[in-house]
Amino acid sequence: MPTEEKIRGKSRWVVNQMDSVPGRFEPDPSRDASEFDGLGFSRSVVVNLLAKGGCQSAFSVMAATRISPLDTPFYQTADKFFTANSKVGLTFDVITLAALYSEVLPRETKLDITLADGLQLNIPIISSDMDTVTESRMAIAMALNGGLGLIHYNMPDREQLSQVSRVKYHVQGLIQEPIKVSPDQLIGDVLALIEQKKFGFSTFPVVDAKGIFVGLLSGHVVKPRYATKKVSEALTPRKQVHTITKKELGKDPIARADKFFTEHIGIHKLIVLDEDDHLLGLITMSDVERITQERKAQFKPARDAQFRLVCGAAVSATRNAFGELDRERILTHAGELVERGVDVIAVSTAHGHSKGVGDMVRVLRDAFPKLPIIVGNVTSAAGVEYLADCGANAIKVGQGPGSICTTRIVAGVGIPQLTALYVCSLAAKKKKVAILADGGITKSGDIVKALTLAQSVICGGIFAGCTEAPGEVLEISGKLYKSYRGMGSLAAMKSGSAARYGHEKADTTRKLAAEGIEALKEASGPVDRVLAQLIGGIQSGMGYLGAANLAQLREKARYIRVSPAGQREAAPHDVVELKTGN
Ligand code: XMP
């Protein structure tokens, strides 16, 4: 193997050879081999070919892999591109990325990212801390897929603590709060419930007023013909139902349940109880089969050092009656979150580059020196520097790009997202912190573009229609929807998020100025399905750029602006669309 020094020497030699080819790459002879990466050469190609002594073949392969000077005036690096476009705010649809020579197959790309010491994700996707996006179900689904959910704070502190516990103590495959019915209900009531809530199942555990499991109501008796019968008349009694205690499930509940289903032909549900017959949950055979399949998946769940799912929680910069930062409340709640095992706290506000937010981060950093802290939102390098100096590990970038945001309309403030990300990335590099692209993402291609500048993305709208998002499915003209609202919408602020936008929830003397809207999202099914599409798109983008991992994606990206006609060209056009890509 050649030494680093030899590689450097030979690299220069090869560069000089190429130098002599008219109209080709013009290198700076003072550059060393490490710079080849940034110039579009695959370092492994350089090293391998030079190690084999094949300077001639190195020359021809590199000619194929290099960036041609014919391309460079058009497809520019981030520094050149954003500097050249410094007078205009750019966002996702008005730029596109140029493909590069690639030896990378999309399915082999790696998506793991470390956002802070002790906070590693296997995919760079975070669900927003919004009350119509992330509670424990969403956070569990995100972590199981390798990402992270930030539990919102529009709820009492105690409730947020139990949401975090639900994620941290989630037993994969165990439905912790199955829908239950009571012995006194009529089958007709159960049928109405199924219809009203659009349940896709009809078997229910039956519990009495004390939460004791008394039997199972099987789907085959939940029929209109039995509508006037009581659940107690139709249920399969406790002693005839297969049950297991949580203790018996042991360390690998899925393997234990899998064995149970194999041994008990035709049984598809296993009831989990505590020692006193209180219902703890339900395991279904279909979930066990899906999880067993998922264990072979490329992207593993994101877990902490104790093998629990990762979970984040948002906190706001609350003030006491004197208008001062409420240190006591903030520290008590943060301490309890840490006790429950929270992996990261997100200080979520609309204007992160402000004294109150900086003070709050300092308070948290002093009290919890090792706790990963996310803070936001900002759109300037000064904002990133300020929050990094206060102690943040990862900084949310985005003011007004969100699908439900009206900040730019109401306050006249905010920066189109890609320009904001580039400017913030300059400060983030300097301060060695991560930035998170928060808001405005509507498709996987947007994520690829965001990840050329940021370490991860935060999405609200994309997940708000998922089964795991809080809220019920609504049927309107035969279509299914879920509600999605900005945390700065009037309704959300009244439920608690006013502090995020610098207002007082109890302030009835004047109208709160909403910076978000209330909306609907089409129901989009389980998070697994949505994430599979997004991840596929990210991997595809990385394949086009020859990027084997996220660091290479950031390093290799080349940009160009897109004209309005180019934007139309980018979407399906001049056809009658029969099926969407998804
Ligand atoms: P997407 O585009 O994913 O955006 O739906 C989600 C992000 O939007 C931010 N957010 C708001 N911004 N007014 C705003 O200006 C609001 O009411 C509001 N609510 C959420 C937030 O950063 C979120 O992650």
pLDDT at 500 over 80: no
More confident site: 48 or 537: 537
- CB–CB of 84/561 below 8 Å? no
Residue located nearest, by CA, to atom 15 of ligand 1 = 405
pLDDT at 141: 94
Amino acid at 27: P
- Which residues make beta-bridge pairs with 339? none
Contacts of 579 (CB under 8 A, 6+ apart): none
**How close is the Cα of 310 to the center of ligand 1, in Å?**
22
Distance 405 CA to ligand 1 centre (A): 5
pLDDT at 566 over 90: yes
The number of the ligand 1 atom at minimal distance from the alpha carbon of 377 is 22
The predicted-structure confidence for 365-390, as pLDDT tens digits, reads as follows 999 999 999 999 999 999 999 999 99
| Domain limits, the chain | 4-64, 113-170+301-570, 174-294
Nearest atom in ligand 1 to 407's CA? 15
Mean pLDDT of the chain: 87
The H or E element containing residue 245 is strand 243-245
Pocket test for ligand 1, best of 127, 129, 130, 357 (most atoms within 8 A of CB): 130
Tell which CATH classification among 1.10.150.120, 3.30.70.1350, 3.20.20.70, 3.40.50.800 matches the domain 113-170+301-570: 3.20.20.70
Fill in the amino acid letter for 59.
Answer: F
What share of the chain in percent tops pLDDT 70?
85
Question: How confident is residue 570, by pLDDT bands cut at 50, 70 and 90?
Answer: very high
Segment among 39-53, 151-165, 342-356, 430-444 with least mean pLDDT: 39-53
Question: Would you place residue 177 in the very low, low, confident or very high pLDDT band (cuts 50, 70, 90)?
Answer: confident
Measured CA to CA, the distance from residue 31 to residue 95 in angstroms comes to: 30
Average pLDDT over residues 68-85: 96
Q: Which residues line ligand 1 (CB under 6 A)?
A: 128, 130, 377, 398, 400, 402-405, 407, 438-441, 458-461, 486-489, 515-516
pLDDT tens for 184-235 read 999 999 999 998 877 878 899 999 999 999 999 999 999 999 999 999 999 9
pLDDT at 10: 34
> Which residue from 404, 443, 522 has its CB within 8 A of the most atoms of ligand 1, so it is best to mutate?
404
Q: What is the fold, at CATH topology level, of the domain defined by 174-294?
A: CBS-domain (3.10.580)
Nearest CA to ligand 1 atom 7: 439
| Pick from 485, 470, 393: nearest CA to 166 | 470
pTM (two decimals): 0.77
What's the gap in Å between 563 CA and the centre of ligand 1?
27
How many whole angstroms separate alpha carbon 31 and alpha carbon 15? 10
Lowest mean pLDDT among 58-67, 192-201, 446-455: 58-67
* Cβ-proximal residues to 421 (8 Å cutoff; 6+ apart), any chain: 397, 435, 437, 450, 453, 454
Closest C-alpha residue for ligand 1 atom 5: 461
Q: Are strands 174-175 and 279-284 parallel, antiparallel or unpaired?
A: antiparallel
Closest by CA to 75, choosing from 545, 542, 456, is 545
- Which residues have a catalytic role annotated? 405, 500
Rounded Cα distance, 138 and 524, in Å: 13
- Residue bearing the CA closest to ligand 1, atom 14: 405
Q: What percent of the chain is modeled with pLDDT above 90?
A: 70
| 404-428 pLDDT tens trace | 999 999 999 999 999 999 999 999 9
Q: Is the pLDDT of residue 135 over 60?
A: yes
Tens digits of residue pLDDT in 22-38 = 333 333 334 333 434 44
Q: Residue 398 Cα, ligand 1 centroid: separation in angstroms? A: 8
Q: Report the separation in Å between the CA atom of 515 and the middle of ligand 1, taken as the mean of its atom positions.
A: 9
- Residue 21 to residue 27: CA distance in whole angstroms: 12
Q: 324 pLDDT exceeds 90? A: no
pLDDT at 196: 83
Residue 401 alpha carbon to ligand 1 centre in Å:
7
Confidence of residue 265 (pLDDT cuts 50, 70, 90): very high
Q: Lowest-pLDDT range, 87-96, 374-383, 565-574?
A: 565-574
Task: In the chain, count H helices and then E strands.
Answer: 23, 22
Contact yes or no for 211/178 (Cβ under 8 A):
no
User: What is the rounded CA–CA span in Å between residue 434 and residue 554?
Assistant: 13
Predicted pLDDT at 579: 76
Q: What is the mean pLDDT of residues 395-409?
A: 96
- Structure confidence at residue 318 (pLDDT): 82
Residues 424/352, Cβ–Cβ less than 8 Å:
no
